Structure 1
């Protein structure tokens, strides 16, 4: 099944502007948001806000409702968003301020949230040399220092058990015996999808499966509580405000988990900038978990993009194919199949 997005109009979104005391003048779909529609609302007084719309028509993954007790289930929906926004606010980590939430589906057959608009660009824009998008940001170095401080604040928070914030903070429990066990199960599942998609993955399947199990056997039980992590914390998920402040976006996947999972993703997405994000806390990272999670992350970043291309109308399919190809090469190299 292929999901084709239908762009919402001013008529569709006008009631939500009215709910926060404004008259809607214009609507612009913003790029990104593969699990939700993201729209900038411009009001008659020239102020702006952003609408998040979670509906099947906006979700390119065609995944349907996920079970939030699975830490890696489809991270989409108003419940996950509001729980994550509340937890980040309590932690002192900035995210777009929630202005209005509508779970009633009165005006649209979807959950909708209206949040503050953070003008400017992303940290990725700044690191790629587009400072005009963030006019008052002092420099890349300043932004990276702020990012390291944000990570310190985020990762200083822990939870009573692992899992999505919306589950754990409401007293619920997640599937799986440990973070590592959940990662192994997911990695083997992702690997199981690949032989039918690529002959290289088919040929290397035994080595990749053995690699997952061998690395998992080296991970020792952990007694420390799980850490609060974003889950997909690349520089594209960090907004840089005009005054140089940083705010996290796409927060629905916020969860308590092994901090090594976050650091593997940070290293992949920040590349040579990752060293600037090292803090005293990174010295305590578990090398065995990092090795297991690195292989699992690469496999996820092969299976996920290929899955998205199967069911969605992602605006840049070649980009997704490149992600899958790069990560397949990385996974194969980790088991000596380059």
Structure 2
């Protein structure tokens, strides 16, 4: 965690914090939190009657480490989800469902005081579920059970249309003809990209291409989609003082095949996925989406390394691990 000065975050943002918390709030420290690749995340600590600390999200261009987003179709379900509009749409939707998310104290996309979208939100100070799984398994198990219940609520929300919540709310239509077709198209792009950067994937590009096509060919059609977080690992779940899980990094909230969520949960939660698994999932989708997800987790981190993302060893490790796992999904010939 790096300590920033007030001028490092920007005096206008700190003035917004004071507006959110009242003139009696005095900033005493600003900590930049590690992990964000599309927005800056800061903990602003101070003294005053209302709060000891808050979190500030800054969606400044300089905080987005993902290259090549210019000209992308903003309505595509896999388009980079960044900015105040998708965050607020997701926060409202989840809050109405009773799914715990940080309270929004103030949001500003006017760009009059600060040249980026910015939000001041509740600081859920209990740490991540990822950390809790390592330090307090009993408390983590209770939080996992409640997280499973939250996901049940989300996944039971159905829509005939798929797409990000903010896209559907404004009446736009998501790209593509079906979830499985979108996943296949993205997987083929990820394969082509990874084949140029990862030697193991490059040498197996042809059988991986054929396997993706084989898996997609047996996926049955579907006309209803569930509400999913889209990138829900234990690092994207905080645990509050009462032990309740709190979802963060919610900008990508969308209606999509719930199998896409379950594949990601399986990869990120490992042995703890048992508490989150559910019957009735389509095995054909799970097979296609698992291979597609592995390829995404090769190509995505390698793209990120094209820029100046600071935590490079971790990204390289993710890409190498998932390249091996993708190759292991090829059937024996």
User: What's the secondary structure of 1:139's corresponding residue?
Assistant: helix
Alpha-carbon RMSD: 2.0
| Structure 2 SS opposite 1:191 | helix
Distance in 1, Cα, partners of 2:53 & 2:305: 33
Question: What does the per-residue CA deviation read over 1:287-309, in whole Å, with 9 as the maximum and x for residues that have no partner?
Answer: 00000000000000000001111
1:286-301 correspondence runs (5 A): 286-301=282-297
* 2:109 maps to 1:103: yes
**How far is 1:68 from its partner?**
2.8
Alignment of 1:238-277 (within 5 A): 238-277=237-276
Q: Is the 8 A contact 1:27 1:41 kept in 2?
A: yes
TM-score by length of 1: 0.91
| Pair 64,110 (structure 1): closer, same or farther in 2 beyond 3 Å | farther
Partner of 2:225: 226
Select 2:35's aligned residue among 13, 20, 32. 32
Of 316, 321, 326, 1:326 maps to: 321
SS of aligned partner of 2:286:
helix
Q: Which residue of 2 aligns with 1:304?
A: 300
The number of residues matched between the two structures is 323
SS for the counterpart of 1:110 is: coil
- Checking the alignment, whether the CA contact within 8 Å between 2:67 and 2:306 is kept in structure 1 is no
Measure how far apart 1:335 and its partner are. 1.3
TM-score, normalised by the number of residues in structure 2 = 0.92
Q: Which among 20, 41, 46 is matched to residue 44 of structure 2? A: 41
Asked if 2 retains the 8 angstrom alpha-carbon contact of 1:53 and 1:112, the reply is yes
After superposition, give the CA deviation of every residue in 1:140-198 in whole Å (9 maximum; x if it has no partner): 32122112111111212122410000011222210000000100110011111122212
Cα displacement (A) at 1:109: 1.2
Residue by residue over 1:259-287, the C-alpha shift from the partner in whole angstroms, topping out at 9 and shown as x without a partner, is: 00000000000001111113xxx211000
* DSSP 3-state at the match of 2:11: helix
Contact 1:26 1:43 in 2 (8 A): yes
Structure 2 runs not aligned, ≥5 long:
none
SS of residue matched to 1:83: helix
Aligned to 2:58: 53
